[in-house]
Amino acid sequence: MLLSELVRSCSHEKVAEAAVASIGPGFRRLIEEAARDKGLGVGAFSASLVRSFAYNADEQDWSYLAAQLAGKDMPILAGLRHVLETMLEIGDAEIPAGIIQARRAQKCAPFGCTA
C-alpha cells in the first residue's frame, strides 16, 4: 500500500517538490543541482525519477524499497529519498541490482552495447 502511495503521490510534480523540500535543505540542493543539469525544476525532475523507478524496478528493487519504508516515522519521505538516491547514485543508498541493469540497458540500447 505504501509503495503504491509513494509512486502515486510523488509522480506528481508539485507533491514531489514539496516532499523533497520536506526531506531537508541539503538534500534539496543535491536534487536541485541534478535537475538543473537536465533543464528541469526540482518537482518535475523528482517526479520523473519516481516514474522511472516504478517502470524499471524489478521484484528485488520493490522488496528493498519496502524494507526501507518499514518502521519509519515518515515512510513516504524515506521512500522518496531512497528512490531519488538510488536513481541518482548519491548518498548512502545501496543501489539495487535491477535498477543498475535497467539504467545500463537504457543507455546501451541505441549503441548496441551489452549491459
Instruction: Determine whether 17 is exposed, middle or buried from the number of CB atoms within 10 Å of its CB (0-12, 13-18, 19+).
Output: buried
For residue 88, the enclosing domain spans 2-111
Domain count, the chain: 1
Task: Kindly indicate the confidence band of residue 58, based on its pLDDT and cuts at 50, 70 and 90.
Answer: confident
Q: What percent of the chain stands above pLDDT 70?
A: 77
Task: Give pLDDT, residue 106.
Answer: 55
For residue 39, is pLDDT > 70? yes
- From residue 112, give the alpha-carbon distance in Å to each of 11, 56, 105, 108: 31, 19, 9, 6
Average pLDDT, the chain: 82
What pLDDT is recorded for position 90? 59
